[in-house]
Structure formats: structure tokens, C-alpha cells
Amino acid sequence: MMKTKTNRFLVMLTIFSYLLSLIVILYLLDEVAIHWDTAGEADGYSNKWFGAFILHFHYDFGLVVNNPFTKNGAEKSKL
């Protein structure tokens, strides 16, 4: 039962973040900064679609590989 609630929560969180990005993308410039140098100045740019969704793919991959709510994920975090 708990695993189902946890999975449902993660799915809802993921869907919410994608919907939020779709709303925010309307206000972004065509080109957004995706990388900054040590001085804090942007030195890497990409289009707004890549900039708005690349963190989601990274986050989703992390949830699939190392789900913090599973026993396996909890054991890894204690290392």
C-alpha cells in the first residue's frame, strides 16, 4: 500500500513540474543561459525548450535509478 502511495506521489510531482515548465516557458526568452563560469557570468546558452526541460529529464532519471523511497535507495544513501 505504501509503495503505491509513494509511486503516485512521485508521478504527481513529476507531472506538476512539467506543467509548471509549460507555463513558465511562455515567459522565457528564445535563448536561455544553461551554464555559468566561476565569475557567475553565463557562458553557455540554449533554446528555451531545452533549458526548461533538461532538469526534468535529469530529475526523472535520478528517480528511476535511485528512488529515495525504496529500500535499495535508502541503503545507498547511508554509504
Do the domain assignments include residue 31? yes
Q: Quick one: CA torsion of 68, 69, 72, 78, rounded to 10 degrees?
A: 50
The candidate with the shortest Cα–Cα distance to 37, out of 45, 29, 25, is 45
Q: Helix/strand/coil (H, E, C) string of 19-76? A: HHHHHHHHHCCCEEEEEECCCCCEEEEEEHHHHHHHHHHHHHHHHHHCCCCCHHHHHH
pLDDT band at 71 (very low <50, low <70, confident <90, very high): low
Do the domain assignments include residue 56? yes
Task: Tell me 78's DSSP state.
Answer: T
Q: Which pLDDT belongs to residue 79?
A: 47
Q: What is the pLDDT of residues 18-58, one digit of tens each?
A: 898 889 899 989 998 888 999 999 999 989 888 788 777 77
Do the domain assignments include residue 40? yes
Q: Which domain covers residue 29, as residue numbers?
A: 21-67
Structural domains counted in the chain:
1
Q: Which pLDDT belongs to residue 10?
A: 78
Do the domain assignments include residue 43? yes
Residue 9 identity: F
